[in-house]
Chain A
Amino acid sequence: MLEAIIQISLLAVSISMIGLIYRVIVGPTTPDRVVALDALGVNLIAIIALASMLLHSKSFLEVILLIGILAFIGTVAFSKFLEKGAIIEHDRDH
C-alpha cells in the first residue's frame, strides 16, 4: 500500500516537473525562467526523497541538503545579476 502511494506521488511530482519545464521553455521574460528553475530544484529534492524511500536506502539523504543549498545560491546569484548587472561587485574607485 505504502509502495503504491510512493509511486503515485512520484508520478505527480514528475507531471509537475513537466509543467515547470513548459514554463522554462515558454516563459516570456528571464525572471519567469529563474522562478521556474528554482521550483524545479525544489521538486528535484522531493523526487530524491521519494526515490530513497522506494529503494529503502539511506545513502541519498545528503543529496537533499546539497541540492537545497545549490538551488538557493543559484537563485541569489541570478537575482543579483538581473538587478545590478554583476554578481560580485568590485571595490569603489575613490
Chain B
Amino acid sequence: MTEIIRFIIGFLLIAGSFLTLVTAFGLIRLPDVYTRNHAASKSATLGVMCILLGTFLFFFLEEGHFNSRLILGIIFIFITAPVAGHLISRATYNSGVSLWEKSVRDDLKDKQKYEEKNM
C-alpha cells in the first residue's frame, strides 16, 4: 500500500516539475508577449498545483498530518493565477505593445476609434 502511495506521489512530483520546465522553455522560445503570457499562466499553474497536491498527499499519508493550508494554497493559486495573467495581458495591450509580426488577426484594433465615436 505504501509503495502505491509513494508511486502516486512520485508521479505527481515528476509531472509538476516537467510542467514547470515546459513553462521555462515557453518563456524562452515563444515570439511575443501574449504567447509567452499564455505559456506562463497555464503550465506554471498546473505544474505547481501538481507539486502541491503531491506534498499534501506526502504529509497526509506518510505522516498522518492533514494540512488545510496546502488545500487553501491550491485553491488560491487555481483562482488567482489566471486572473493575474488576464490583467497583465490587458495592460500590455492597452499600453501599446504590438503583436508578433506574423499574427493574422487583431479584433481589438478598432477599439480606440469606436470608443471615441460613441463618447
Contacts and interface: CB of A to CB of B under 8 A. Distances in A.
A76 to B, nearest CB: 6
A66 B20 CA distance: 20
- Report whether over half of chain A's contact residues are helix, strand or loop; otherwise say mixed: helix
Nearest to A45: B48
B24 A20 contact: yes
**A interface residue count range (under 10 / 10 to 19 / 20 to 34 / 35 or more):** 35 or more
- Report whether over half of chain B's contact residues are helix, strand or loop; otherwise say mixed: helix
A69 to B, nearest CB: 7
Contacts, number: 165
Interface in A17-66: 17-20, 22-23, 29, 31-32, 34-36, 38-39, 42-43, 45-46, 49-50, 52-53, 56, 58, 61-62, 64-65
Interface residues of B, number: 53
Contacts of A86: none
B110 to A, nearest CB: 19
Contacts of B91: 31, 78-80, 82-83
A34 B40 contact: no
A80 B73 CA distance: 24
B99 interface: no
A53 B55 contact: yes
Contact of B87 (A12, A17, A76): A76
